[in-house]
Amino acid sequence: MIKPHGSDELNPLYVSDSAEREALQQEAEGLPSIVVSSATAANAVMLGGGYFNPLTGYMSKADALSVADNMHTASGLFWPTPVLNLIEDAGDIKAGDRIALKDPNVEGNPVLAVMDVEAVEEFSDDDMVAMTQSIYRPAEGEEHIGADTFNSQGKVCLSGPIKVLNYSYFDTEFEGTFKTAVEIRQEIADLGWEKVVAFQTRNPMHLAHEELCHMAMDRLGCDGLVIHMLLGKLKKGDIPADVRDAAIRKMVELYFPENSAMVTGYGFDMLYAGPKEGVLHAVFRQNMGATHFIIGRDHAGVGDHYGAFDAQEIFDNEVPAGALEIEIFRADHTAYSKKLDKVVMMCEAPDHEKDDFVLLSGTKVREMLGKGIAPPKEFSRPEVAQILINYYQSQNS
Asked if residue 232 and residue 100 are part of one domain, the reply reads: no
Strands (E), the chain: 33-35, 57-58, 86-87, 98-102, 111-116, 119-122, 156-164, 196-201, 224-230, 261-266, 292-295, 327-330, 334-337, 342-345, 357-358
For 122, phi and psi rounded to 5 degrees? Answer: -125, 135
Give catalytic residue positions: 202-203
- pLDDT tens digits in sequence order for the chain, 397 residues long: 999 999 999 999 999 999 999 999 999 999 999 999 999 999 999 999 999 999 999 999 999 999 999 999 999 999 999 999 999 999 999 999 999 999 999 999 999 999 999 999 999 999 999 999 999 998 877 889 999 999 999 999 999 999 999 999 999 999 999 999 999 999 999 999 999 999 999 889 999 999 999 999 999 999 999 999 999 866 677 788 889 999 999 999 999 999 999 999 999 998 999 999 999 999 999 999 999 999 998 899 888 899 999 999 999 999 999 999 999 999 999 999 999 999 999 999 999 999 999 998 888 998 999 999 999 999 999 999 999 999 998 887 6
* Residue 325 lies inside a defined structural domain of this protein: yes
Asked if residue 381 and residue 310 are part of one domain, the reply reads: yes
Among 147, 168, 189, residue at a domain's last position:
168
Among 140, 168, 196, residue at a domain's last position:
168
Contact predicate 21/27, CB 8 Å = no
Neighbours of 291 (CB within 10 A): 21
Asked if residue 164 and residue 86 are part of one domain, the reply reads: yes
- Concatenated DSSP letters of 311-323: HHHHHHHTSPTTS
Q: What is the distance of C-alpha 30 from the center of its chain?
A: 34
Any residues with CB less than 8 A from the CB of 293 and at least 6 apart, and which? 197, 198, 200, 281, 282, 285, 286, 326, 327, 328, 329
Asked if residue 271 and residue 193 are part of one domain, the reply reads: yes
Count of the separate structural domains present in the chain: 2
Asked if residue 185 and residue 160 are part of one domain, the reply reads: no
**Domain containing 62 — which CATH number?**
3.10.400.10
**pLDDT, position 63:** 98
* Residue 148 lies inside a defined structural domain of this protein: yes
Asked if residue 205 and residue 156 are part of one domain, the reply reads: no
Contact predicate 265/241, CB 8 Å = yes
Contact predicate 114/162, CB 8 Å = yes
**Domain containing 289 — which CATH number?**
3.40.50.620
Among 138, 168, 198, residue at a domain's last position:
168
Range of the domain at 302: 172-396
Per DSSP, 246 falls in state H
Asked if residue 295 and residue 232 are part of one domain, the reply reads: yes
Asked if residue 325 and residue 180 are part of one domain, the reply reads: yes
* Residue 193 lies inside a defined structural domain of this protein: yes
- In angstroms, the CA 234 to CA 84 distance is 19
| Amino acid in the structure at residue 242 | D
Contact predicate 140/117, CB 8 Å = no
* Residue 13 lies inside a defined structural domain of this protein: no
Cβ-count burial 21-49 (b if 16+ within 10 Å, e if not): beebbeebeeeebbebbbbbbbbbbbbbb
Asked if residue 255 and residue 186 are part of one domain, the reply reads: yes
Please write down the HEC assignment for all residues of 258-292. CCCEEEEEECCCCCCCHHHHHHHHHHHHHHCCCCE
* Residue 292 lies inside a defined structural domain of this protein: yes
**pLDDT, position 234:** 64
- In angstroms, the CA 333 to CA 240 distance is 24
**pLDDT, position 21:** 98
- In angstroms, the CA 99 to CA 104 distance is 16
Asked if residue 186 and residue 144 are part of one domain, the reply reads: no
Asked if residue 192 and residue 157 are part of one domain, the reply reads: no
Neighbours of 316 (CB within 10 A): 9
* Residue 99 lies inside a defined structural domain of this protein: yes
* Residue 270 lies inside a defined structural domain of this protein: yes
* Residue 1 lies inside a defined structural domain of this protein: no
CA distances from 161 to 57, 87, 97, 262, 285 (A): 4, 17, 12, 32, 22
Asked if residue 134 and residue 199 are part of one domain, the reply reads: no
- In angstroms, the CA 168 to CA 146 distance is 21
For 66, phi and psi rounded to 5 degrees? Answer: -70, -45
